[in-house]
Structure formats: C-alpha cells, structure tokens
Amino acid sequence: MSNISSTPLPLDRKCSLALIAPLEAILFDIDGTLCDSDPLHYYAFREMLQEVGFNGGIPITEEFYSENFSGKNNEYLCSTVFHDWDLQTARKFLDDKEAMFRRLAAEQLEPVKGLDKLRKWIENQGFRRAAVTNSPRASGELMISSLGLSDFFEILVIGVECTRAKPFPDPYLKALETLQVSHKHAFIFEDSVSGVKAGVAAGMPVVGLGTRNPETWLTDAGASFVIKDFEDPKLWEALEELERKAEATTVAT
C-alpha cells in the first residue's frame, strides 16, 4: 500500500475537522485510546523484564516504557529493544507478556472517560467504524470485548497482519479499503506517536488522546489537536462543526 500523505492535513482553524465533511467513518486505535491500558502493559513489562534480569535487574521506568514500548508492535521490539536476544526467545517473551497483559486486562480494564457518549453519537449518526491496532489479535479482541464494543466495530485491523504495521499507513489504509471509505471523509483517534504518524501518512486528520504521552509528542508527530478524553469540549466543538458543515452542504445541493 502506498503512502498517501506524509504531512498533516491543513485545518480551517485550530481543533477543526471541517475539511473532511461530510464525515463517513471514524477509525480508532485501541490501547491508550479506547482504554487507559498503558499502566497494565507497563506493569507486565516491568515485572517480566526484571525477572529475566533485563537492565541489570533494575525495573524499567515509565519514561523508558513510553519511549521504547508504547505503540510499538512486537516484531519491531524484537529488532530494537531485544535486538541482542535470540529471535525465538524474544518472540516467546513478548507472547508471554501479552498473556500476562490479557489476564490483567480481563479484570482491570476501564474505558476512557466519555467513550460511551461518543459511541452513542457515532451510532446515531450512522458512521462507519473500525478498530486498528498494533496489538496481537488476541489482545485486541479481548480489549474490545471487555469494553463491550464487539458489536460496535465493523472490523478489527491488526498491524502485524498487514504488509507493514504502524507507524506505516498500511493498517489504516486497509481499514479504509475494507469499509470502502475515502480518506477524505474519515478521521482517526490515536494516543501514540507511532499511531499518529501512521494516520497522518494515510492522509487523515488524527485527534490525539493525551492519556499518557505528552501533548507535544503527539502534535509534533502530526496530530491535528489533542484531547484529554472523549468528554473534552474541544472534541465536541469539532464534531458539532462537522455536523453543521454537512448540513450546509446537503442544503446547498
């Protein structure tokens, strides 16, 4: 799949999504976007890495986790953080870490504030929707199920099942292709630098979720604007503007 765009789309004004009206689809990352799952991933990595003596047995910091693990797919981690490990050993470790994460998530996963409100709005508007993640399929499916969103999403796209995972645009382009929607009428919710870069490269505006990563990281990666959660007034102002512009377009035609 080709790279449609490598720069953020121009916006009418700050916190605007007006250029994509009429809106047809919204694409969501999962980890850190639908749910604040990073603390669970961090805990699993910290405990398991310390157990195997990584970093001399000194527990990794949250900053180290954010910079090196957050938003990265397992194959990428094998070639970077664990480049000096035997490949099969690294893959087995990461599979075991994901299993630990799923055990934690099954009991502790909570939705990002305002998710239910946004879900109802999207359903009432009749927009298409997809979940797009770098997580393994088992983890992605578990998170969606735990959040009660199995019937909400039409498709689940897994990064490592594409030719290239995020930060490349392929997963988001696959979602658009499957939904049969143009990148000109869709936008993305993302919380990681890797994910923001993927969305921007796919030619869509990206609304950043500041659940864990600094706002400057996300805006520097190309996010159109960053929200605290799905109740943030900035988001709803942008969505209301989209509605008004779509209505104006309908009247004009």
When pLDDT is averaged across residues 99-126 and rounded to a whole number, the result is 97
Asked whether the beta carbons of 144 and 156 are under 8 A apart, the reply is yes
pLDDT in tens, 190-215: 999 999 999 999 999 999 999 888 99
Domains of the chain by residue range: 18-34+112-252, 38-108
pLDDT in tens, 30-66: 999 999 999 999 999 999 999 999 999 999 999 999 8
Active site residues: 29, 31
Q: Which of 39, 177, 173 is nearest to 188 (CA)?
A: 173
pLDDT of 21 > 80? The answer is yes
Q: Environment class of residue 177 by beta-carbon count within 10 Å: exposed (0-12), middle (13-18) or buried (19+)?
A: exposed
Regarding pTM above 0.85, the answer is yes
pLDDT score at 181: 98
pLDDT score at 209: 97
pLDDT of 3 > 60? The answer is no
Measured CA to CA, the distance from residue 23 to residue 25 in angstroms comes to 6
Which CATH architecture describes the domain 18-34+112-252?
3-Layer(aba) Sandwich (3.40)
The CA R_g of the chain, rounded to the nearest whole Å, is: 18
